[in-house]
A and B are shown apart, each in its own frame.
Chain A
């Protein structure tokens, strides 16, 4: 007996309203992209949660490694001059 083949896993992204970006909502199993969209509609938009669905096969996603959090994000921490609050502007200049 051969081991039964499981349907691949897909990650589902939904645009909640016009003008918003797609957001990850969860995952599901489907044989191909078309099937994944159809299942996503049933599983994730039963109450008008979206106006657009993206699906991507989970195996195609490359994720950053959580243990490398330091080397990835630390360099940004000491660059406070990237934030507007770094620059003091006198009050008489008005709103800027």
Chain B
């Protein structure tokens, strides 16, 4: 889940308007940019879509780290295509957020000065090539769990962006699993690397769904607005149920001694991640928080002259063209 702990904004509008708005959502109607919407709905969505977009953009960094060191030309091309997709997903989502009245530059500034967050998962380092497998398989796998239901979210532009994203995301997970399959069939060292990557990414992947429902204070309003479609625990369980057999197929061990199949519930029992670690990472103390933001800040600063030069060039060209068409 790329949007974690989205705080719901209180809203204090005319109860009649609010009721009519809720009725539209309950009837399954989509809310479009120019429609009336409660201020709380608008602000909460900006926060959620913004965080989602930032996650796509920052999410390029852990994988970008390995593009130049991919083991084969084919893997390099695969990874490049995936990272380019993440950039595209960020752009779809930024545009969806902008329809709510926030500018692209404001969104970027809020990421850089810490007012907006991105998913905690991207604050973990990618230490070996096997991490490219684990990230695609687990991180994109967890993202898909969350994004598929969001295709039915109440806000039209967000739902449409999610449809595009979901179409592309499946390739990401499969390419990751493909990397893992090659690693586990490789040398002893390669298999060890694959296991090590699973060990390191398992719990951070479980954290992607956000804190347990009992600690998730904003769920109810966001679910009523259909900007959150499932509870955190529901999605986490679904992820575990789908992923454990995949790990077994690879011959890898999920790093959880308590993991077992529960006949009665038809689900796996599993250990919760260490939530104190999660809150610490969200607060900015993960292994890579500083590095990620510094990298984005550097790109923003170093790109400034390019952004300005592009505008200046376009203006010059416009002036020249308008002169040349004069009789």
Contact = CB atoms under 8 A, between A and B. Distances in A.
Instruction: Say whether A associates with B.
Output: yes
Contacts of B275: none
B17 to A, nearest CB: 12
Contact of A27 (B95, B168, B304, B317): B95
Interface in A1-54: 4-7, 9, 25-29, 31-32, 35, 42-43, 46-47
A72 to B, nearest CB: 13
A63 interface: yes
A65 B103 CA distance: 22
B34 A26 contact: no
A26 B310 contact: no
A66 B307 contact: no
Interface residues of B, number: 28
A66 B91 CA distance: 26
Given A31-B313, A65-B34, A4 B307 contact: yes
Interface in B54-112: 81, 84-85, 88, 91-92, 95, 98, 103-105
A4 B105 CA distance: 9
A26 B304 contact: no
Given A31-B314, A66-B35, A43 B307 contact: no
Do most interface residues of chain B lie in helix, strand or loop, or is the interface mixed? helix
Given A5-B311, A26-B161, A26-B164, A66 B34 contact: yes
B308 interface: yes
B168 A47 contact: yes
B307 A28 contact: no
Interface in B29-53: 32, 34-36
Contact of A6 (B88, B105, B160): B105
Interface residues of A, number: 21
Contacts of A7: 307, 310-311
A67 interface: yes
Contacts of B308: 4-5
A27 B85 CA distance: 16
Nearest to B161: A26
Contacts of B317: 32
A43 B88 contact: yes
B298 interface: no
B318 interface: yes
Contacts of B310: 7, 31, 35
Contacts of A5: 308, 311
Contacts of B81: 46
Contacts of A63: 34
Interface of B: 32, 34-36, 81, 84-85, 88, 91-92, 95, 98, 103-105, 160-161, 164, 168, 304, 307-308, 310-311, 313-314, 317-318
Q: Which 5 A-B residue pairs are closest in the complex by CB-CB distance? A: A31-B314, A32-B314, A31-B310, A27-B95, A66-B34
Given A9-B95, A46-B81, A46-B85, 9 more contacts: A4-B304, A9-B98, A27-B98, A31-B311, A31-B313, A32-B314, A42-B84, A43-B91, A66-B35
